[in-house]
Amino acid sequence: MRKRLLKALGLCALMIIASSNLLSVAIAASPTTPDPDVVAKFWWWNSETAVPSGFTAEGECIEVPGQGAMGIHYVKMAHLDGTFNKLEPEGLLIDPTTDKLVGVEYIVISKTAPTAFGQTFEPFPLIEGAWALHLWLIENPNGQFAPFNPQVSCGRAEAPRAMSMENEPLPEEDATQEHRFQEEASQSIGDPIGTLFTADENGNTISVIDAMTKQRIGTVPGGLAPHNVQVSPDGKTLWVTNAGSNDLWVYDSSNMQVQFKMPLGEHPAHVVLSPDGRLAVAANSGDNNLSIIDVASRQVVQTVPVGAMPHGLRISPDGQWAYVASMGAGTVSIVDLQSLKLDAQIPVGNSPAQVGFLPDGSQVYVSLVADNAVAVVDTVTRQVVAKVPVGDSPIQVYATSDGQRVYVANQGTSAEPDNTVSVIDTSTKQVIATLVVGKGAHGVVASPDGSRVYITNIHDSSISVIDVASNEVIATIPVGTGPNGITFGTVQVTELAVQSSEPAPAAAPGGSRMGDLH
């Protein structure tokens, strides 16, 4: 593995050298301010610090006339686990003339090019599915993420010797390491960079999870019985409905600092935002209406009566309609977001809990709790065109980004919780797989790239991570008590402004007024 990595580092540098005529254009827009968190950790490092910390010098210093040098790579093999952590880089860049650490390099395994610090990773040669990004910790006139730095020198007059790219056989020990790395990396391919948020209703907290590493970053205080969470379209804010305190909290999603709070109606269930981020819509289950909020002014601009006990809702991909599951009426209410008026009510079945659009907006899937089924609504005719039997008491539904599958969380009851997810093929309207997750499967969200689906498990206080390609549960992540809603954000959270103490506080007596539905 180390020999393969050495070749890749050399080939990567040679590829950059070969395209150096385009380099000045590519790096012109790159920022020059180093990341403060990474600088704070590594500014004093050198080779004597790197080696005891598990980093090993690999290859030679690479220098390009007129562009500068890259320094010597020090690599920590244990960090080559296919994930991204800005404080645990896979490589260090050390200037051989000063023996000072001047930059770091990240190597990530992913199906698609990941992003970090607002930059897109570049392909890393010889390792399938690998991507790399340089980050300079000293000033670089070329840009913070440029491959070479004119302030770094290899300290020799002659041109650096290019490394051989021949694919000679690997020694047995190296081949074993290579196989182990590829096996571990394959498990990480597809894990997107981003952040998951869960509404921990029974703990009065919001859990924050790194989607790439599948680790909980921490929890922050929420209102009383937070029921649902939704990241804004621009990824900058997190909207949370608190069913116990009848209000809405909006957080800065980058650090989870509360930006503002506002009252809603009786027992607010779900909140969603229009694709343009202009409107937010909250369902008030106890008042049988929707609060429509102007995001810019932070004011409720309209209250729209809908069917009894509105619960889950989503906005059509074109932003024109809000579809609301009215549990007490057995209907889906359709609200026109231009006129802000109720446009239609569609009978769908018993106790509809949530709706989910296909990406093209042609159909809506509606979970029917009392029917143990999902209704499929044609959005043109506004008629139910199919009903698909699923597990016990289905709650949330979510379609993958390609529109080929819909994932349904079957919660069951408090006395007899279900622990399954039904996977529906949208072309045949049939369940093609039933996956075992945690007890009380409730919330569902898919990653934007469609590679992962995440399920909240109320009674196990966890998230199940499903690999869409294999339709298998690949990880379980502990979160706060009684997680309900879940959402995926593209903004990375590395540090929380205020963290909740552990364990999370107990819920109010009686818990959620939604009973088994939470």
Determine the Cα–Cα distance for residues 444 and 353; give it in Å rounded to an integer. Answer: 13
Mean pLDDT of 487-500: 79
Each residue's pLDDT tens digit, 263-297: 999 999 999 999 999 999 999 999 999 999 999 99
Mean pLDDT of the region 363-388? 98
- Is 484 or 83 the better-scoring residue by pLDDT? 484
Between 174-188, 226-240, 456-470, the lowest mean confidence (pLDDT) is in 174-188
Q: What is the predicted pLDDT for the residue at 62?
A: 77
Q: What is the average per-residue pLDDT within 10-30? A: 40
Please tell me the predicted confidence (pLDDT) of residue 364: 98
Separation between Cα atoms, residue 411 and residue 419, nearest integer Å: 7
- Region 132-152 average pLDDT: 88
Q: Quick check: 136 and 147 in contact, CB under 8 A?
A: no
The pLDDT mean for the chain works out to 84
CA distance 369 to 515: 13
| 206/222 Cα distance (integer angstroms) | 6
The per-residue pLDDT for 139 is: 85
Distances (CA, A) of 339 to 197, 303, 412: 32, 12, 38
The two structure tokens encoding residue 325: 């599951």
* Cross-strand pairs, 215: 210
In the three-class reduction of DSSP (H, G, I as helix; E, B as strand; rest coil), residue 127 is classed as coil
- pLDDT at res. 184: 41
pLDDT band (50, 70, 90) for residue 335: very high
The answer to whether 240 and 250 are in contact (CB under 8 A) is yes
Whether 494 shows a pLDDT value over 80: the answer reads no
Question: How far apart (Å, rounded) are the C-alpha atoms in residues 116 and 317?
Answer: 27
CA torsion through residues 238, 242, 243, 248, sign: negative
Q: What SS3 string covers 314-356?
A: EECCCCCEEEEEECCCCEEEEEECCCCEEEEEEECCCCEEEEE
Treating both helix axes as pointing N-terminal to C-terminal, what angle do 2-18 and 172-188 enclose, rounded to 10 degrees?
A: 70
The whole-number average pLDDT for the span 210-237 is 93
Residue predicted with more confidence, 434 or 109: 434
Higher pLDDT: 88 or 463? It is 463
SS3 letters for 58-89? Answer: EEEEEEECCCEEEEEEEECHHHCCCCCCCCCC
Residue 19 has pLDDT above 80, yes or no: no
pLDDT tens-digit series, residues 410-450? 999 989 999 999 999 999 999 999 999 999 999 999 998 88
